Amino acid sequence: MTDKYAVIGNPVSHSKSPLIHKMFAEQTGQDISYEKIESPLDGFADTTAQLRGDGYKGCNVTVPFKFEAFQLCKQLTGRARAAQAVNTLRFENGEILGDNTDGAGLIADIEQNLGCKLLFKKVLLMGAGGAAHGVIWQLFNAGASIVIVNRTLDKAQLMASEFTSYGTVFASSYEGLAGKQFDVVVNATSSSLSNKLAPLPKGVFAPGSLAYDMMYGKQTPFIKFAREQGAAIASDGLGMLVEQAAEAFYKWRGVRPDTAPVLAKLRLQ
């Protein structure tokens, strides 16, 4: 029997997750279906309950429901608890298990696909929303030290205080970055969605640095700025998307798909 999965979001029509999971299923011979479900903004819990009632085995959760998904779960993985946000649900024995695969996806893309080891690297993490929360724990785990910069400084300061027990972390305003340099700059803001660039000062990219925009599918002002400023590598977030999906697929099916051919196919589209 075909096992059913889905991604819940609002909006969700742009999601590439069904295509990615279809390719994973074909590659690994798993009999699954995977669809997009747009939940009303005030109806995430009801949508999830309906999926469970309809016999779905799990789902991914995207904007804006990752924090709500966290609240819904009685059982959480360590990385989901650290992130306080959930992007993967597994329905099992009447329970919901919540996981967060975004951080593992980012690290896999940076370290394996882009060949940049994070141990002892100085990372600038831009943004203090769901995406930044989802990846910070894994950045520490990979051995990076972190500065969080956010337009609303209070949120960066709060986030830094929440994560201070995990590793070296400081909060900064954008102006406060003047004269500082980083080995890796991760754009986890939603500024690229509106084609804007957060006010990064010139000179933040150290020689040989990596610039990583979690946004994918278009040339963003951040990528353009990073190239102009001399970043050695400037990458979008498509690899992270595929890698976080592979981690979710593994969580559900116990089989790890090969991400390289899937990423290569998506790049051609």
Residues 113-152 binding ligand NDP (CB under 6 A) are 127-132, 150-152
Residues 145-204 binding ligand NDP (CB under 6 A) are 150-152, 155, 188-193, 196, 198
CA-to-CA distance for 7 and 37, rounded, in angstroms? 6
Among 206, 215, 226, 263, binds ligand NDP (CB under 6 A): 215
| 107 in contact with ligand NDP (CB under 6 A) | no
Q: Dihedral of the CA atoms 103, 171, 119, 63 (nearest 10)? A: 10
CA angle at 197 for the pair 194 and 203, rounded to the nearest 5°: 165
Residue 190 CA to its chain's centroid (Å)? 12
Cis upstream peptide for 64 (omega within 30°): yes
Cβ 96 to ligand NDP shortest distance, Å: 20
Name which of 196 and 256 has its Cβ closer to ligand NDP.
196
Selected range binding ligand NDP among 47-55, 223-231, 235-243, 251-259, rule: CB under 6 A: 235-243
Residue 49-88 contact track with ligand NDP, rule CB under 6 A, x = bound = --------------x-------------------------
Name which of 19 and 52 has its Cβ closer to ligand NDP.
19
Among 8, 59, 108, 241, binds ligand NDP (CB under 6 A): 241
Cβ 179 to ligand NDP shortest distance, Å: 20
* Binding-site size, ligand NDP (CB under 6 A): 28
Cβ 94 to ligand NDP shortest distance, Å: 29
The three-class DSSP label of residue 266 is helix
Burial class (CB in 10 A: 0-12, 13-18, 19+), 237: buried
| 102 in contact with ligand NDP (CB under 6 A) | yes
Residue 163 CA to its chain's centroid (Å)? 17
Name which of 56 and 222 has its Cβ closer to ligand NDP.
222
Question: Beta strands of 131-246 (E only): which ranges?
Answer: 145-149, 169-172, 182-187, 205-213, 233-235
66 is catalytic: yes
Among 9, 237, 262, 266, binds ligand NDP (CB under 6 A): 237
Helix (H) or strand (E) segment spanning residue 214: none
Nearest CA to 191 out of 150, 242, 229 is that of 150
Cβ 95 to ligand NDP shortest distance, Å: 25
Are the C-beta atoms of residues 123 and 145 closer than 8 Å to each other? yes
Pairing of strands 205-213, 58-61: unpaired
What is the gyration radius of the CA atoms in the chain, in angstroms?
18
Residue 126 CA to its chain's centroid (Å)? 13
DSSP state of 57: -
Which candidate in 4, 36, 57, 66 is catalytic?
66
Name which of 32 and 240 has its Cβ closer to ligand NDP.
240
By annotation, the residues acting in catalysis are 66
In the complex, the residues that contact ligand NDP under the rule CB under 6 A are: 63, 102, 105, 127-132, 150-152, 155, 188-193, 196, 198, 214-216, 237, 240-241, 244
